[in-house]
Amino acid sequence: MDGKEKNNSLGEGAKSALLNEGETWGEFFRSIFYAFLIAISVRTFILQPFSIPSESMLKNLMVGDFLLVNKMSYGYSKHSLPFSLPIIPDRIFSDDVERGDVVVFRLPRDPDIYYIKRIVGVPGDKIQMINGELHLNGAKLPRIQIEDYVRTNEYGREERFEQFEEVMPSGKTYVTLNREYVRRADDTQVFIVPEGHYFAMGDHRDNSLDSRWPSSEGVGFVPFENIIGKATWLTLSFDNHSALWEFWKWFPEERRDRFFTTIN
């Protein structure tokens, strides 16, 4: 093989290497693109992750909980899509929301804000709070007081809450908390849930801005189309309560007993 042939051979080898490299990068970017499409599809139509920023659902859901919402539970509306794109008329593949379900929904007065509450009233129900107890269609829901929920807050003080097991007519039970009498929340008018809407309340009854407040300042009745899905699973949970000066607590403590558990 002479020098010219050697150069030609090297040149072809270099071209082949460049071609293979180009194919490898192309496959890489295609894989990234497909992974992105799959992630968006899962988030849009199957499971959407959320984190808990407030104590309105204490103690069932705590600040620092990370959860997954099943978006297939009740079908899909425009609010199921990113930016509430108006390409789904009304609701498709619809299924009923049941009393006692914990749901994530878009706030009626500002759809960019997500709320999580428990549904206590379905269309046609009459809802009223009397002396801190929930009445459904004229009957007080049974509830059993259990041992107090006690915790230490970020200031090192003990906090104590009355704790009740409340029972829906279906037999579904869940825990609610009571700390103090709040007139506007604990003694209300009778709310009649209109067609196509639901009545939502927080489990921490004295610390929840929910359907007991009108939509202009709270939640009001929740339109069915605003409901994103059913909160089903906790994935991770971290206790990040710490004062600014407590640098040794800046890294949140794991609540491992809450990892990968179902939401009641």
Q: Residue type for 235, please?
A: T
pLDDT at 246: 57
pLDDT at 157: 85
pLDDT at 245: 57
CATH of residue 129's domain is: 2.10.109.10
- Does 119 map to a domain? yes
Q: How many domains does the chain have?
A: 1
The model's confidence at residue 2, banded by pLDDT at 50, 70 and 90, is: very low
Measured from the Cβ of residue 46, the count of other Cβ atoms closer than 10 Å reads 13
Greatest mean pLDDT range, 31-40, 80-89, 91-100, 199-208? 199-208
CA distance 49 to 234: 10
User: Is residue 209 pLDDT above 90, yes or no?
Assistant: yes
- Does 185 map to a domain? yes
**146-154 — which CB contacts under 8 Å span 24+ positions?**
146/175, 149/58, 149/59, 149/177, 153/241, 154/241, 154/242, 154/243
Higher pLDDT, 10 or 257: 257
Two structure tokens written together for 185: 């929340």
Classified as helix, coil or strand, 244 is: coil
Which of the residue ranges 16-25, 119-128, 134-143, 204-213 would you say has the lowest mean pLDDT?
Answer: 16-25
What are the residues whose beta carbons fall under 8 Å from the beta carbon of 68, sequence distance 6 or more? 47, 48, 49, 50, 231, 232, 233, 235
φ/ψ (deg, to 5) at 77: -130, -175
Q: 227-236: per-residue pLDDT in tens?
A: 999 999 999 9
Measured from the Cβ of residue 91, the count of other Cβ atoms closer than 10 Å reads 19
pLDDT at 121: 98
- Determine the structural domain holding residue 164 and report its residue range: 46-262
Measured from the Cβ of residue 77, the count of other Cβ atoms closer than 10 Å reads 22
Closest to 116 measured CA to CA, from 203, 216, 214, 221: 203
Q: 134-178: per-residue pLDDT in tens?
A: 999 999 999 999 999 998 877 778 999 999 999 999 999 999 999
- Does 15 map to a domain? no
Cis peptide before 59 (omega within 30 of 0): yes
Average pLDDT over residues 71-94: 85
Catalytic residue annotation: 56, 117
- Does 229 map to a domain? yes
User: Is residue 9 pLDDT above 50, yes or no?
Assistant: no
Angle formed at CA 106 by CA 105 and CA 110, multiple of 5 degrees: 155
Gyration radius from the chain CA atoms? 26
CA distance 217 to 123: 22
- Average pLDDT along the chain: 85
Average pLDDT over residues 70-89: 86
φ/ψ (deg, to 5) at 17: -65, -40
CA distance 193 to 123: 5
User: Is residue 244 pLDDT above 60, yes or no?
Assistant: no
Which of the residue ranges 24-28, 91-95, 172-176, 225-229 would you say has the lowest mean pLDDT?
Answer: 24-28
- Does 2 map to a domain? no
What are the residues whose beta carbons fall under 8 Å from the beta carbon of 31, sequence distance 6 or more? none
This prediction's pTM: 0.81
Higher pLDDT, 254 or 25: 254
CA distance 39 to 60: 28
pLDDT at 213: 95
Residue that has been written with the tokens 């409901």 in this structure: 227
Closest to 205 measured CA to CA, from 56, 40, 53: 56
pLDDT at 242: 54
Which of the residue ranges 28-37, 87-96, 183-192 would you say has the lowest mean pLDDT?
Answer: 28-37
Classified as helix, coil or strand, 231 is: strand
- Does 3 map to a domain? no
Average pLDDT over residues 18-30: 63
The model's confidence at residue 38, banded by pLDDT at 50, 70 and 90, is: confident
Q: 45-68: per-residue pLDDT in tens?
A: 778 999 999 999 999 999 999 999
% of residues, the chain, pLDDT over 70: 84
